[in-house]
Amino acid sequence: MKKYYIIIAALFSIFISCGSDDENYTVPDPDPVVPVSPVVVDLNAVPYPVLSSYKFFEGDMKNLQPAYKVIPYDLNSGLFTDYASKKRFVWMPDGAQATYTSDSDQLNFPTGAVLIKNFYYDNIQPGNTTRIIETRLMIKKTDGWIFANYVWNNAQTEATLDPNGSYTDVAFNHEGTTINTSYRIPAEFECATCHKVGQNNVSIGMKPQNLNKNFNYNGTSKNQLTKWIEEGYLKSEGVPSEIVSTVDWTDTSKPLELRVRSYLDINCAHCHAAGTHCDYTPMRLAFHETVNPVNLGICVTPLNATVEQPFIVAKRQPNKSALHQRMNTTESSEMMPMLGRTVIHAEGVQLMREWISSMDGACQ
């Protein structure tokens, strides 16, 4: 009889232990949800008639809050556009990556990549309100980049494709002064004036030398190129640990000539280079080329020299320098850059004036 008690006790023990296991059992987590970018870029259908169709931004579109995998970026020095502020973003299809060629060459972007640049003022008069003027897209198709410019409506709820270009009146505050101008939104064909080398459309600022800087990503500061590698947007292979980079031309702690070369690279080099719109001129203004003073135009005679401006850059004489004169005018037949501005960039002119005045010696 004792034997049966032992068997019953053993079975009861097993039953209890099974019950205990059931109580501690937890349902395993399902497979983690992998976020997917909501962006829609059908290369057979773009450019879309309206900006919202791409789904680049979440919530109220005018807040320019980027959707998942739409990555913000900035440049060491930005292109001057009538004092407009800019918010820049990049998006690439899943699994697509850009590749590095050199510090001074544009990144090689994959098919389907989109560069997004928003132009806005946050000091529109009379109430210091914010107004987004336009959003420019560069979309990489299988046969190269295309341009798509979108003009925002007054309600700031939508932007509509405008391939023909237009003007819009703006009045904004700059350094305590109200500037009134007729802001130019470029036509598609005008974009190619600056964004073309040979027969190929190209980006302007997307060089490692310009992107090599920290950016604040939701409170965390990180190098942009490192961020792109982490996001899978840039292949790490070939990217050097040290990159010869431009600087913020407004940073007065940097050497004056380095600031000048950085300014000229982003504002002028896209036309003053081989195979570009102004390749017939003697100037070569890319950052890596201006280590040579001849490429900067120092003591170089311009094609249309005058008594008033006998040199592109006349040492110690900004008023006799064609470079200074062309930056300091809005006369369409003389001004440089010839597109992209309707007002004089006073701070840029002052930078050139300070640099030219600081030179030793004189041109003969």
Between 346-357 and 256-268, two packed helices, what is the crossing angle to 10 degrees?
130
Bridge partner residues of 90 (DSSP): 71, 115
User: Are 290 and 265 contacting, i.e. CB atoms less than 8 angstroms apart?
Assistant: yes
- Provide the pLDDT for residue 303: 85
Confidence of residue 333 (pLDDT cuts 50, 70, 90): confident
- Provide the pLDDT for residue 76: 97
The CA distance from 240 to 100, in Å, is 9
Q: Residue count of the chain, please give it.
A: 364
Q: In this predicted structure, which of 90-94, 154-158, 231-235, 267-271 has the lowest mean pLDDT? A: 267-271
- Compute the average pLDDT of residues 130-137: 98
- Provide the pLDDT for residue 14: 38
Q: In this predicted structure, which of 59-73, 151-165, 189-203, 277-291 has the lowest mean pLDDT? A: 189-203
Any idea which residue has 């995998």 for tokens?
Answer: 69
User: What kind and span of H or E run contains 124?
Assistant: strand 114-124
Query: How does the average pLDDT of the chain come out, rounded?
Result: 90
- Provide the pLDDT for residue 10: 40
- Provide the pLDDT for residue 31: 65
User: What kind and span of H or E run contains 208?
Assistant: helix 208-211
- Provide the pLDDT for residue 195: 73
Q: Which pLDDT tens digit goes with each residue over 105-116?
A: 999 999 999 999
- Provide the pLDDT for residue 6: 38
The CA distance from 236 to 244, in Å, is 17
DSSP three-state, residue 308: coil
- Compute the average pLDDT of residues 230-254: 97
Identify the residue with better confidence: 21 or 192. Answer: 192
What six digits make up the tokens of 94?
């899943």
Q: How many CB atoms lie within 10 A of CB 32?
A: 6
Q: Which pLDDT tens digit goes with each residue over 210-228?
A: 999 999 999 999 999 999 9
Amino acid in position 317: Q
Confidence of residue 30 (pLDDT cuts 50, 70, 90): low
Q: Residue ranges of the domains in the chain?
A: 51-230, 249-364
